[in-house]
Structure formats: structure tokens, C-alpha cells
Chain A
């Protein structure tokens, strides 16, 4: 008895043998040998259950045992036990057996399971095709077992089943002639495939096999692939002839995937999903950003009311509260963005999004799995650079690493949100979304251009997609909170240092006005160059300098340089508390308002209004065209220090320097293009 694992062979031999079953071991192994002696029509026969196997070429000790036993202790008849519910896969072994030149019959077991899977089978069709007896049965219920016993002695050698390409047939014919064994055809096929067979064959046969294999190979024929290809094709054909009806039962995941992974709709649905994630982020974070902004104003007011020395008061109100506080006020943006991403991730949608993005990567000539580091880059560029290690080949890794810094990390999102709220209050979501797309486009173009130098792409192959699940609120909130906390903790140190450094530059030399500070002088040096981009204000240019340390510092620096120049108003304790309570109430109401805003299809939600004072201060410093060019420059310019350090670690100093200079040039060029384009459309 030969069959795939889990086809019910043991159950069948139990049903056939009853109390005559003997359990032992195969010689020299610990593999169970089940056998039974039966009397059938006056003759004594021995039934032997061979270990379950998918093929006759040994890849495991059990499989080796099956081929060895069949070739060396030729049975009178092979009972091929086939799982009716997994017919096609099982028939692959049947076809192998049919080439052994031995009488056989097929026990088509597990007919009940096939029915439960929605299949209708025609055993007679299989009998006709194979030319051997086929007995349908359910061994576990003794159904069909007697009929099998009755047909046991009717086993015949199957007629040839698999038609191989003519050059293979010719080689098989030539080799088989030299083999003195009833299984000569199977042996010839195995030898031509380059397999080792568990049988002692004359040296001359092995030499002929090697010669014929080489000759096939020289004429561009891969014998193994052709032989296996033909067997799978024949198994497929047989299964189609035997399965007369199948009721395909689609799971919910299958049904949703029909749309989500659709070749045409998949891409737009992926983009829509990401757009909705941004919309959710802005709708729900906006009221809480306002609340934190109000809290910050109250704290600054209390500091001013404390009548501290002017420098200390400025340090606390403008440096600490105005700088770091403004950055922290964007925690709600990050939290809601991470909440949306956690929902997409745990529901199984992000896997599909990555899958769809994978195809875009290939279109751009990138290795398929490049989407992993690139999508990681939306969170933080640093781990994204390290994750390029999942790609093979230095060139592929380098191409993707050079593209990663163009992906909008969450630090840049903070700045985008602020500017979008100030300059494009009605189209904030579209602007931010557009910047994400622009970054992706430039990144892909960079990788593509680098790839052109070396040529060739990679392939991705098959990806497992998890089933869709409804995420639990607890898990989603926990994930979002952990990521927000991680971002804030990671960003806190550098932000504090950078902002305090900038505050110092702003207040040095002592007694100098803001416009005469060291910081202003350094920023003014850049003015002539950036005037071509529509950016004239030295405070905006100055913020780009610490932005090189960490992009999230840009907003804090802007707050210090803009708000530091306008002294804040003092605020009484009770008045401050009343202001906080009022802001909290507004935030709660705003959250309730966000629900219909999210569901309302025609309008996109507005971005959160960053700290009120900074917002008004910024509004007068740029035109819309200038704001767009500033955002484009900020998106694309030199990666932050940590990302450069990661590139240096992975690819060396040269590539870190290349990334810095190349991205600076790209940023300037694209920002100039964006500015000119915006002017054309009246953004001046």
C-alpha cells in the first residue's frame, strides 16, 4: 500500500486486516512496518503498508524506504491509496507509480471528505483514464472495503500516462533499453532528472544517463523541469476529468481579496485606504492639537506672570514651552496616525497594501520586497535603512537605501501638518498626501536611476497574506500608544538639545536684538539662494539648519524664532485654569464633530491648527507657492544625522556623503520646479 501521508492507509489496513495486523519496524530503521496476512480466494497474501510519501525520489528516510522496497522487493500489486479530497496532488504520486511497470489498483479513500469539500467525483472516469481498477471507499466507516478486497487480484500495469517532450522520450527510450529491471522507464526518467536511485545499476547505465543528461542540457532542455512539468500537467488533466463538479466555497477573505487585490482596482483601493488613514488622523487629532496648543499658551502666560528675570522668562516660555511644547502638541497627530496604521495592520489590510505596493516597486525596476524598507521609512528612516538587509545583493540594498530618505517619516509629518494647516486649511489632507506621493516618486526614480547603471531586477515571488480579522480596540490602542511613546521618547532628547541650542543662538550676542543674533546672521547667508524658491524669511531658512540634526526640530525652532520675537502676555492663575477648561470642552466637542467629518465623503478634513500664535506668525511669511516649495525642500533635503549614520554603517562614508549631497541637490531642484509650477497656477 503506497500513498501520500494522511490518506488513511493505516485505517485501511486496519479495516482490511482486522486482528491479523502485525506491527514491527522496517529493517535498520525505527519506521513502523504494518503488515497483515490474509487469505483471499484460497490464496494467502501479505498486505504491507509503506510509509506515507509524496514522491518516490528520496528526500526523507521514509521516502527512500518506499522506492527501495518497491524496486528491490517487487510486490505482486500496488494498492495506491489516494485522498479523494486532494486528488490532484495525490495523482502526482500515482503517475510516478504508473511508470514503475507494476500491476496496481487505486483505493480512492476519504470520499466523504471530498464530498464535504464540495467535490463530486467520477471514479469510473479515473479507471478509464488510468486503465487500472479504482475502488471508491471510506475506510474509517468500512465503506467500500469489501469491494476493494474483491478487486485486489485484478490489479494491472497502467497504460502510459505521461507524455514527455520528444527529446526526453527519445533519451528515456535509449536509456531504458540498457536497464534490466521491470521499472526501467521510471528508473530512466529518474536518472535523466539527475536523481539518485536506490538500486544498484551497472556503471555503463550510469555513464549513459550522464551522457544523455548532458546532451539534453546542451540543447537547452532541463530534464528535471520538463519531466516534473509533464507529470503535474497530466495530474491536472486527470483531476479535471474525474472531478465532475466542485462547489467552490469562498471564504470572506477570498471575497474581500477579489476586490482588494484586483489588478486594476487594487492600486486605487490601496491609495484610498491610505488617504482615509490620513483623513482619520487629521479629523480626530485636530481638536486635541488645539487643546495642547492652548495649554501651552496658558503655561507661557503663567511664566510671564511670574516676573522672572527677562532671560530666564524667555528661556522658559520661548525655549522650553514654546519649542519642545509645540513639538509635543503634535503627539495627537502621531497617535491617531499610528491608530489608523495599527487598525490597517491588525485587520490584514496593511499586508495587502504592502502586496499592492510590491507591484509598484517592480514596475519601477526595484526588487519586489523593497516595499518593506520603503514603507518602514514612513515611520522612521533609520530602521528602514537597516532593513534593506532583507534584500539580496549590495546594489539592490544601496538603491533602496538611497530611496528611503525620500519617504516621509513621521518627523516630517509634524512640519507638513503645521504648514498645511496654515497655508492650505481647506486642502490640508491633499497637500500632505501629495507630499507623501512626491517623496515616493522621487525615491523610486532615484532607485530606478541607480539600477539603470547595473541593470537587471529581482523577483519577489509568492507572499502569504493573512486572513482579514476585526481588530480589538485594546490591541489597536496599545500598539498606537507604544509607537507614539517610542517616537516621543526617541525625539525628546535631540529636540531639547537642538531647540535650546537655537534659543542660545537667537539670544547671542547678549543684548542683541533677534534680527542681529548669530542665528539670524547664519540664516541670512542662505537668503540669496533660497530667494529663487520664494523663501525669503531668515527664520524659515534658519529652521532648516537644526532640521539636519532631526527633522522634528524644525517646528520647535520655528516656534522659538517666531514667537521669541513677540513677548507673550502674562496670564493669571484662575484665568489660565478657565482657559484650559474651555479648551478641553472645545476639544471634546471637536472630537464629536470629527465623526460626521470622517463620514462626509465630499470634504476632506482640515489639518489640525498648530499652536495658534505660531500659525498666525507663519501666515505672513510665505506665499502659497513659497510654502509648497518650502515643504518640497523639507521633504527631500539631506537626511537627518541618524539616517546618515545608518547609511554610513551599512554602505560606508562615500555613500553617506553621496546621499547628503545628492539629496540636497534634488531637494533644491524639485523645490524650484514646485515653486515655478505653483506660480503658474496662481499660488503667488
Chain B
């Protein structure tokens, strides 16, 4: 299950698509992501990015952009970490 999730995270996915892909509910998906995050396979994108430094006032994407707020509760963007990418390559081999 976690390995399937890692593989799915290689491409951009919405939560609904991940839920459908894994056939799990929202809470389980969250638990799986946290499990992967705990050991550094995935990370929140904003935690690795400095803020954009430009005004977000007129930006159409500020609600999506991980750099638009320090606490993007409404817009978590997860990404595979280097470790996650390496694990995925290993699994494929």
C-alpha cells in the first residue's frame, strides 16, 4: 500500500485520485502520507522552499502556491523526497 502510494506520488495527483487509486478513505490516506513523511520519503513542498518574495495580492494561484503562506493548511502540496525517489527506483528494479 505504501509502495503503491509512493508510485502514485510520482505524478501529480489530487487527494480524490489517490483515494480512488488506493481504494482507501481520507483518514487512511492521511495516515499513510504521515507514515511516509515520518521517515522522509515525502515532504511538504513548502517546507523546502523559501517564499517567493513577490506580492501575492494579485496572484491567481496564491491559494495553491505553497510559498504563499507559512501555514498552508488549506493547500498542502506533498512531494517525493530524494529518498522517496530513490526508493521508487529501487522498487522498479
Contact = CB atoms under 8 A, between A and B. Distances in A.
B71 interface: no
Q: How large is the interface on A (under 10, 10 to 19, 20 to 34, 35 or more residues)?
A: 35 or more
B11 A387 contact: no
Interface in A534-552: none
A235 B23 CA distance: 12
Interface string B56-69: 01111101111100
A38 interface: no
Contacts, number: 163
Interface in A78-94: 86, 88-89, 92
Given A59-B38, A460-B12, A461-B42, A466 B28 contact: no
Most buried by B among A235, A383, A390, A392: A390
Contact of B3 (A89, A225, A342, A362): A225
Nearest to A646: B54
Contact of B76 (A233, A464, A486): A464
Contacts of B13: 461-463
B64 A351 contact: yes
B79 A386 contact: no
A229 interface: yes
Nearest to A232: B1
A386 B59 CA distance: 13
A390 B16 contact: no
A387 B65 contact: yes
Contacts of A364: none
Per DSSP, chain A at the interface is helix
Contacts of A225: 2-3, 39, 41, 87
A125 interface: no
A678 interface: no
A492 B14 CA distance: 41
A486 B75 CA distance: 26
A381 B41 CA distance: 34
B14 A462 contact: yes
B12 A359 contact: yes
Contact of B12 (A235, A257, A362): A362
Contacts of B55: 383
Contact of B61 (A261, A376, A458, A465): A376
A228 B87 CA distance: 14
Interface of A: 54, 59, 86, 88-89, 92, 194, 220, 222, 224-225, 228-229, 232-233, 235-236, 254, 257, 261, 341-342, 345, 350-351, 354-355, 358-359, 362, 368-369, 372, 375-376, 379, 382-383, 386-387, 389-392, 458-466, 479, 482-483, 486
18 contacts: A54-B34, A88-B27, A228-B2, A229-B3, A232-B2, A261-B16, A368-B79, A369-B79, A390-B52, A390-B67, A459-B11, A459-B80, A461-B77, A461-B80, A462-B14, A462-B18, A462-B78, A482-B57
